[in-house]
Amino acid sequence: MMNKKSLEIYVHIPFCSRKCAYCDFLSFPGNERTQRDYTEKLIEEIDYQSAFAKEYQVVSVFIGGGTPSILKTEDMEAVLNALNSHFDILPDAEITMETNPGTVTQEALLSYRKAGVNRISMGLQSADDKELRYLGRIHTYDEFLKSFQRVRMAGFDNVNVDLISAIPGQTVDSWKNTLKKVTMLKPEHISAYSLIIEEGTPYYDRYGDHVEMESYSMTKEERKRLMALPDLPDEDSEREMYYLTQEFLMEQGYERYEISNYSKKGYECRHNIGYWTGIEYLGLGLGASSYMNGCRFHNTTDLSDYRNASFDQDEGFTQALRQELERLSIEEKMEEYMFLGLRLTNGVSAHDFVSNFGQNIRNVYGQVLDKLEREGLMEFKDGYYKLTSHGIDVSNYAMSQFLL
């Protein structure tokens, strides 16, 4: 039997109960009929795309959104069964599903587990109900606790909790309180991000450089509520939260293995590590991105175009699933390898660089590596080039040096 290449699969479920004010992901509410139609089309795509992955073995699956757990249990079962039927998924593959508090039942969780899901990622964001309202979340902290308990009772022993710092009205003390409450639950993994104000979101209208309220079809009441949101924490408080996160989580036994990700030993997210170390990936569903055979492409972001695509016709397939097809040059592959690899606290392996590109990393980046070492932003240790603590703090600057 031939040696198969490793592949990761991402499945996008775009539906959510309500769009959060800070969210720029491809997500939106959808009624039951829309969700069912989408599920049927997604299963068609799974069948069709699997023909292009015969030489691959799937090492991880990530079902994200939106809120995947919003789908009816039988629809999610059908998606998971289709993946298992059409792809060569390793028996010990990591299979993650995103959920939001208040959207999962005990029955559904047991169903996911039976179908192969072995990791749950829960979007909490804050343990403060007032802060959750400011974010536009649909749940309370108490609802999160009940959902977390259901996840444990269903037998999941690999759980991530997503958190966001530097949100409106947040203080250093309230952020510390969130960290305390979450670590008391002992999840295996914590993703802790600083809020980024993205264009095209209501938050950008409230907190961006300028106000473009006309870009949104809001009611007067909705606009009034948006503009009444408290200010963001100042820069000093944001920095304090950032350092507190590292310090507090490390004290609680979480190891920082990537800029925004912490885990108990052995529970690092294998799917994300795959992205950061250059494993090929296939995106399934609306707007999902892929990187296979040196090419980057993505599916259509138009729900109507996706639902009407004929995957058994080359033209329909190309239009819906191969948008912005781009073959990366060797230089672009090297740049991406460095940008992504340096997000990991372990850094980039000099040996793996040679294996991937057939040349010594110093022949390509010697001057940059020396410069960053002199500036105290990088170090070479045990065969790896990695950012120092200060280098991680200014990672955007450090990574920009690797453009060829």
Which residues lie closer than 8 Å to 84 by C-beta, 6 or more apart? 115, 116
Which structural domains are found in the chain, ordered by start?
5-195+232-276 (3.20.20.70), 330-400 (1.10.10)
Check residue 97 and report its DSSP letter.
E
Cα 378 from Cα 130, distance rounded (Å): 40
Looking only at Cα atoms, what is the longest distance across the chain? 65
* pLDDT at residue 214, rounded to an integer: 47
Q: Per-residue pLDDT averaged across 237-247, rounded?
A: 96
> Is pLDDT at 225 greater than 90 in this prediction?
no
pLDDT value, residue 323: 87
State how far the Cα of 54 lies from the Cα of 117, in Å rounded to an integer: 22
Per residue in 332-351, pLDDT tens? 999 999 999 999 999 999 99
Which residues does 363 contact at the CB level (< 8 Å), separation at least 6?
Answer: none
More confident residue, 23 or 92: 92
Query: What pTM was computed for the model?
Result: 0.94
- C-alpha to C-alpha distance for 130 and 141, rounded to whole angstroms: 10
Strands (E), 100-210: 119-125, 159-165, 189-194
- Which residues, in sequence order, are CB contacts of 94 under 8 Å at separation 6+? 59, 60, 61, 118, 119, 158, 269, 270, 271
Is residue 131 scored above 70 in pLDDT? yes
* Closest by CA position to 45, among listed 96, 79, 6: 79
Question: Number of H helices and number of E strands within the chain?
Answer: 17, 15
Give pLDDT, residue 223. Answer: 77
How far is 322 from 298, CA to CA, in rounded Å? 6
For residues 305-334, average pLDDT: 82
